Amino acid sequence: MFVAHFDTRESPDRMKKKYMQWALVVLVIATLAGLVWNHYGMNSMLIIDANSSYNIEAIDDSSASGNTRSVLKRENGKLVLECAIGTKFQWPFCEISIDLGEAPNGMDLTGYDTLRIWAHSEGPAKQNQIRFFIRNFNSSYSTIADPLTLKPHEIVYNPDQQAQPLEVDMSQFTVSSWWSNARNMPMKYAGNDFSNVVTVAVSSGGYVEPGAHKITLERIEFQGKLIRPSTFRLGIIGVWLLAAIIYLISDGMIARANLANIRLKQMSLMRINEGLRVQSKNLERLAQRDPLTGALNRDGLSEQLLRLANRSKSVFPLSLIFIDIDYFKQINDQHGHAAGDQVLQELAGIVKDNIQREDLFARWGGEEFLLVCPMTHASEAKVIADRLRQLIEKKKWPNEIHLTSSFGIAECAAGEAISESIKRADEAMYRAKQEGRNRVEVQIVARQPQSSDTQPM
């Protein structure tokens, strides 16, 4: 008897198609669940209140020769700022300042899109405004020594006319106009920047009446998503693209060849990334140098001073030597800018060849240079400057130029702000100009260091 046998097993192609159909269903469900979770959950929050571990302090115009006085208290879990607004300063103010980091290292707030604040203001006026500041550090426009170079973003509102808490979108912050006008910032730095926030502050209004004022801050919340919706959606698109690629690869006849090709591409990308990292480091080094003389620029000098301070137990005594070429404009006028550039290059070469390895040499601007000598007293720096002065004077310069330079020296003691020392060295250099040029002047008397409870800027 003939018996027919039928193979009930599904073909590999049919099985594969069924698996892909189930995978598609799972992916659709996962996508919908992920979008719902991203919309209603996946929240990130930064909370600041009286119990926060951040450094919180009262600041007023007394640091700018004003007569406002303020006291910060913690009452019933709230921050309370009591201040007597004076009239001595042109723009009197007081504020609660909250440090989120120490320049140049701040906190990245770009992941937050909403600010909520519980605050109240009392004062002699009928309406007492509050200003909320977010101050960002960027080495392109900020310096560690000057807190006024931090980019201030602000909102101004009357808490008595707003429901508590006030909720605003981060995009509603604007860069303070007085700050932008004072610095004439390029357009690429004109907008908001929350990528490296050093401080946030709750301050009195812009035009505040003299008298007793009180600002009560209960809570600050920055709210956002662990993953931004736009980034999450882009990730979903990536997942779907990956699924489509896997489907196409699995449906082909050259899966192993494709897999090998992908591995080769990954290795190639790793080599490219490594090359880009090396190139990025090289570009970073170039960005810290003056392209004409090879000396450090101001940003490079700031970076190297930080590295030197972190690497060494002490850099004090620290001497600063300002170098300014005498009558440099006449060189450009009589011999052309090419000759002037050659003079700058050769002078920089003389200085670099005759200083210690630890010394930092920077082009300050135009024909001015700054030499920073760690572990060097002003008397020792004078010897260095005088030797450089003689080398410059005796050198045979292009086009038979007789070149001299004037030097100004100041010693920076521990606790003194570097910016103040640079100013004194600059004053000494100008005194050398006034005294006849081609000479070295030393600013002997240093200003008193700041008190122990105030950090030098």
Catalytic site positions:
367
Cα(375)–Cα(307) distance, integer angstroms: 15
Cα(40)–Cα(42) distance, integer angstroms: 7
Contacts 24+ apart (CB under 8 A), 65-71: 65/89, 66/92, 68/92, 68/93, 68/94, 70/94
Cα(303)–Cα(307) distance, integer angstroms: 6
Token digits of residue 437 = 């040029």
Closest to 382 measured CA to CA, from 321, 316, 447, 315: 321
Cis bond upstream, residue 229 (ω within 30): no
Largest Cα separation within the chain, whole Å, is: 128
Q: C-alpha angle with apex 294: 289 to 295, nearest 5 degrees?
A: 70
Region at 436 (left for phi over 0; alpha for psi -120 to 50; beta for the rest): left
* Contacts for 83 with CB less than 8 Å, ≥ 6 apart: 58, 60, 68, 69, 70, 71, 94, 204, 212, 213, 214, 215
Which residue carries 């504020």 as its tokens? 95
CB atoms within 10 A of CB 384: 22
Helix (H) or strand (E) holding 216: strand 211-225
Token digits of residue 405 = 């330079």
Closest to 392 measured CA to CA, from 422, 335, 351: 351
Residue 431, phi then psi, degrees to nearest 5 = -65, -35
Helix (H) or strand (E) holding 135: strand 130-136
Are the C-beta atoms of residues 81 and 217 closer than 8 Å to each other? yes
Which residue carries 């008897």 as its tokens? 1
Cis bond upstream, residue 147 (ω within 30): no
Cα(283)–Cα(277) distance, integer angstroms: 10
3-state SS assignment for residue 323: strand
